[in-house]
Amino acid sequence: MSAAHTVSGALSAESVALMARTLAELGQLPDPTTLTPEQGRAQSAFASARCNLNLPPMHSVSEVWIDADLELGSDRCRLKILVPKGAGHGAILFIHGGGFAFCSPETHERCARTLAIESGMPVVLPDYRLAPECPFPAGLKDVVSALRHVFSATAASGVTRGPLLVAGDSAGANLALAAMLHEEAAGRPLPDGGLLFYGNYAWSFDTPSYVQFSEGPGLTRGKMQRYWDFYAGGQNIEGDPLACPLVATEEQLAAMPPLYLMAAEVDPLLSDTLLLSQRLKALGRSDELSVIPGVMHGFLQNTSELSAAREALAAAGNAARRQAGR
């Protein structure tokens, strides 16, 4: 598989059982990328609800807003703040996925709460602007603003200054890495580390994993092409590292803080993570890479039903502790 990683393409028995239960409960839902944005978001929220039952308890859950920054180009943005019991100093800024177009802090809340518990750190989720109404770089600018103001905005909500990590899944991993590249180019301080889960990092649809899993299960090549079209909004973004981080220069990637890369083995986006790992290793870096066998894109949403998701987030939490110096 691209970066010398061969996969069987077989889902685990646990993943197959989860797919069967989901189909039985929700029925065969239409491809959300073929719906209107409003319909797609409503369906994504409906489908995600089953993943967010019996939420793990937190010490506190709150929300704050950060103001628009006209110079940066960010909009007013809501932050959801999850503080676990016994939280230490610092925070994880978690950027939810959803193809740049769907989902919210609420659709990813169980995943974020689990990461908060496993890392022992508060997790803050920005409700950034979504495509296609707000194409690149709107959502990125909101994420950058959240990165810059996360501690000042959450000081009254149980978050204390300390190590700052940036995390994200799928399109959120793209935005997390792009935000770090943005701040590096601006000469601003970078976070202490990054946790990047099955991200899409390039405008490229012919990688080995895109070929092998072009029709899924779950995420397909066609869906990803439409998600990228939503994000681009008619712009030519494939050569811009703030949209497609895999085209960043060696100098830009070398300047990144320590990264923890996680990929799902049965996923069209697997090659994106493997190629990013290759580029980082070629620079002499020692960023961690974890490829989770037998699971498909988005599996971290299912911590209540997949032991693989629970184990993967426990490993990510340990990585966060290492990056935070704990």
266-314 per-position pLDDT tens digit: 999 999 999 999 999 999 999 999 999 999 999 999 999 999 999 999 9
Q: Contact, 265 vs 294, CB < 8 A?
A: yes
* 74, 170, 209, 277: the active-site residue: 170
CB neighbours (10 Å) of residue 17? Answer: 13
* 96, 149, 182, 297: the active-site residue: 297
What is the residue-wise DSSP string for 220-283? -HHHHHHHHHHHHTT---TT-TTT-GGG--HHHHHTS--EEEEEEEESTTHHHHHHHHHHHHHT
203 alpha-carbon distance from chain centroid = 17
pLDDT, mean of residues 196-222 = 97
- Pairing state between β 288-296 and 123-126: unpaired
> Does the annotation mark 15 as catalytic?
no
At 7, is the pLDDT very low, low, confident or very high (cuts 50, 70, 90)?
confident
At 2, is the pLDDT very low, low, confident or very high (cuts 50, 70, 90)?
very low
> Does the annotation mark 170 as catalytic?
yes
Q: Contact, 22 vs 83, CB < 8 A?
A: no
* 142, 267, 272, 287: the active-site residue: 267
State the average pLDDT for the chain: 97
**Which pLDDT score, from 0 to 100, does residue 100 have?**
98
Question: Residue 252 above 60 pLDDT?
Answer: yes
**Which pLDDT score, from 0 to 100, does residue 316 have?**
98
> Does the annotation mark 240 as catalytic?
no
Q: What share of the chain is helix, strand, coil (3-state, %, to 5)?
A: 40, 15, 40
12-50 per-position pLDDT tens digit: 999 999 999 999 999 999 999 999 999 999 999 999 999
